[in-house]
Amino acid sequence: MTAQDRSQSPTWVRRTLGPMRRGSLRGSIFTLMSAAIGSGVLLLPYAFSLVGLPLGLLTLFFGTYCLATSLRLIMTISHITGCDSYAKSAAAVLGPSAGRALACLMVGEALCGQASFIKFLSDLLPRVLPSVFGGFSKPQMAVIVVCLAFPASACRDLSVLRHVTMISFFSLAFMATLVVSGALGGPVLDDEHMEVIMHGRGTSTLHVLPQTWSIVLSALYCQHVAIPVYRQLHNSDSRRVNKVLLRSCTALSVMYAVVASCGIVAHGAATPENILLAYPKDHRAASLAQLLTGCSLLVALPLGVQPARDQFPEVLRAWRALFQALARFCRNLFSAQELSGPVSSTMRVVHTACILSAAASLAVVFPSVTAIVGIATGFGSVLWTFIMPVVMILILRHRAGKERCLIEGPGSGIRERLLSSPLSSPPMSPCPSPRFSPTPSIPEIPPMTLNEEEPEMCMHIDEPDSGKRSTVVFTGKTREEEGSDVYSPPHKRNIPDHYEHYPWSFHFVVGVFSLCIGSGLGLTAAYQSLRRVLG
């Protein structure tokens, strides 16, 4: 590199302190973190007090690994199918009915998540600004929170929030400083306090572990913005995608670990559900932390509304199919459009109002945030962020094995290598080397032909590792030699009719196994929360 190139290349200071552009690394990282930082981080010290510090840290780090795996799977599926939303990808792989069912599931889970945000904000705002919000009831506070979050929630693009997403990181850092100072300046720990730190509150560990797991997943939940972030990321090659995932997940897990560990050390068995409520009302630092946390929740609220709003037309279609008598009314009122058609500004505002109103109603009905988190995480988040991505990837791998002959072109090899090891680096081959970076732009990569078979080129994928790339094996015939056999039926071609095996990489096996364990714990937590709510 010449001196002129070095002078023109952006330095670390310019990249870090320069303006945050649309699709930048910092904007994508802060968007993921802002979507995750919400009510879950306030519950983490309480979750650690249930199982103890060692098991709590293990649960948090395991949840971070599951988060990174889930994000890679969702981005990989979007890249392979060429769809711009998760429900569209599910419809392309599993069929229209599965896409509509998944859209209903995502909207329901998003409503529970927004309800937890509204419930926390309804508790925080009267404490931070008692002169303004002190005389309002819980339902009135829910309406006020909806009104505050509505303008940003009705925006079309997530990138408009890129300049305010940093407040979530700063609020988490300040809250971590507050909790750490409280732990360092606290009294000497007695034996009972140490018992809570090491082993929890004395209840059965196996009984409270699913609840702890659901709270951890709620604190890490940001998969709903994975596809919007991926599609808006400028030059979304493997290295930039890996940077976004690695930095956001690492920063979240480290700061969450600090907050949760110091929270249980400072308060022990008396740790409340909301760690900020453990401080007196006249505590100035705690009041500032509550104000910053409230602002971060107001930022996270629109980030959760937009993905739910994108799926809302499909939810209306599903309801219209179930209630044929109301079909004309729903069509005229909500104007549910086609999957590929844009939603008008008026309908976007109407859909946003419906989602926020439903979330506010849930916040008033549910007795506690942990009940909302348990049900939403188990029956919603786990199903569409853990189970469904694995199912879709396995189906795509199976179809790729049956469709051995694909259309010749640069996109075919990329798709085959993605299917060989979908956990590698989407969009990237199994080889994690930065030297190989295929053209990453989604519009330039045609959607995968799931039900077509062409004989020009046969693909065989070797076991991927760090030093070997996937190999492409041609049939050995040219187009002239094949002649009329090119478009002949499969049984008349001179091609062996067998299933092409695609080996499972070690990372793929570990990722699938981890998501299966997380799914089992999440469903157990949902069952326990539902029993507490109903009984």
Q: Tell me the C-alpha distance between 20 and 147, whole Å.
A: 28
- Is residue 426 classed as helix, strand or coil in its secondary structure? coil
Residue 366 lies in a domain: no
Residue 488 lies in a domain: yes
Write phi, then psi, for 116 (nearest 5 degrees).
-65, -40
Query: Please, are residues 34 and 303 in contact by the beta-carbon 8 Å criterion?
Result: yes
Query: Please, are residues 64 and 44 in contact by the beta-carbon 8 Å criterion?
Result: no
Q: Which residues of 341-378 are buried (b: 16+ CB within 10 A; e: fewer)?
A: eebeeebbebbbebbbebbbebbbebeebbbbbbbbbb
Q: Tell me the C-alpha distance between 193 and 264, whole Å.
A: 9
Please name every residue paired with 250 in a beta bridge, in sequence order, or none if there are none: none
Runs of H (alpha helix) within 403-452: 410-420
Residue 4 lies in a domain: no
Residue 496 lies in a domain: yes
Could you read off the pLDDT tens digit of each residue along the chain, which spans 535 residues? 455 554 444 565 565 555 556 678 888 888 888 778 777 788 899 999 999 999 999 999 999 999 999 998 898 888 888 788 887 888 888 888 777 777 777 777 777 778 878 888 888 888 888 888 877 888 888 888 888 888 777 776 655 566 666 777 788 788 888 888 888 877 777 788 888 888 888 678 888 899 899 889 888 988 888 888 888 888 777 778 888 899 999 999 998 999 899 989 888 888 888 888 888 888 888 888 888 888 888 877 777 777 677 777 777 666 666 555 455 555 555 444 444 456 677 777 887 888 888 888 878 877 666 667 767 767 777 888 898 898 988 888 777 666 544 444 444 444 555 555 555 544 333 333 333 333 333 333 344 443 333 333 333 333 333 333 333 333 334 434 444 343 344 444 444 444 455 566 777 888 889 999 999 998 888 888 778 777 6
Q: Tell me the C-alpha distance between 263 and 261, whole Å.
A: 5
Residue 265 lies in a domain: no
- Is residue 468 classed as helix, strand or coil in its secondary structure? strand
Domain that holds residue 470: 395-508
Residue 270 lies in a domain: no
- Is residue 264 classed as helix, strand or coil in its secondary structure? helix
Residue 322 lies in a domain: no
Q: Which residues of 20-42 are buried (b: 16+ CB within 10 A; e: fewer)?
A: eeebbbbbbbbbbbbbbbbbbbb
Residue 526 lies in a domain: no
- Is residue 465 classed as helix, strand or coil in its secondary structure? strand
Compute CA distances 452 → 28, 404, 486, 499, whole Å.
36, 10, 13, 15
- How many domains are there within the chain? 1
Which stretch of DSSP H or E encloses residue 406?
strand 405-406
Q: How far is CA 135 from the centre of its chain?
A: 37
Give the DSSP per-residue string, 333-347.
HH----SSSPPPHHH
Please name the amino acid found at residue 491.
H
